[in-house]
Structure 1
Amino acid sequence: MKDTQLIPIPSLCTHYQIEMSFFDGLSEYGLIEYISVEKTYCIHQDQIADIEKMIRLHQDLHLNFEGIDTVFNLLEKIDYLQSELKTTQNRLRRFEEN
């Protein structure tokens, strides 16, 4: 993993105007994963979209970490069910064509 793909947490705190404790809470709930680089905690750039969603859930809907975790678990289940539905629909089409 290249360092250019890592974003320091203090930079995110400044950019999003949010406390470091918010990121600590997300990490404690397993919602994000820190990477330590030269005594600075960083995250991989692939996590930015999810972090932005978490910030919006926290600021706009006033959800706590348990609520954010629940929402992300539900979104994951929805994605899985949509994938299963698509697979089932494709199988059904094959049977209908024969």
Structure 2
Amino acid sequence: MTQESYILLRDFCQGHCLDEKFIYELQEVELVRIEKVGEAPAIPPDELQVLERMVRLHRDLDIGPQGLRAVQQLLDRMEHLQQEILELRRKVRRYE
């Protein structure tokens, strides 16, 4: 990926009125990856959707980083189960 596609951590935090410490806490619980672009910490574009979801949950429901990790694990599990249901429905349709 090109450097231009990365979002500088400073810019993201300013745009969302966040303290950078919160993003580093999310990195500690392995919810987001922060990479260096030059000398500045930056967020890879593929992390942006998850990061924005975590920020919304944090603000709306006042959930801390550990709670957000649990929520993300549940969302991942739910997505996996939905995919499994779709696959099973396809198999059942073949035998109808």
Distance 2:59 2:30 in 1: 19
Distance 1:39 1:14 in 2: 18
Distance 2:23 2:66 in 1: 14
Corresponding position of 1:73: 73
Q: TM-score, normalised by structure 2?
A: 0.95
Distance 1:23 1:65 in 2: 9
Distance 1:33 1:46 in 2: 10
Q: TM-score, normalised by structure 1?
A: 0.94
Q: Give the ranges of 4+ consecutive aligned residues of structure 1 lying more than 6 Å apart after TM superposition.
A: none
Deviations 1:37-57 (A, max 9, x none): 121100112222211111111
Specify the SS of the correspondent of 2:49: helix
Aligned residue runs from structure 1 range 1-98, under 5 A: 1-96=1-96
Which 5+ residue runs of structure 1 have no aligned equivalent? none
Over aligned residue pairs, what C-alpha RMSD do you find?
0.8
**Higher alpha-carbon Rg:** 1
Instruction: Work out the percentage of aligned pairs sharing the same amino acid.
Output: 28
Specify the SS of the correspondent of 2:32: coil
How many matched pairs?
Answer: 96
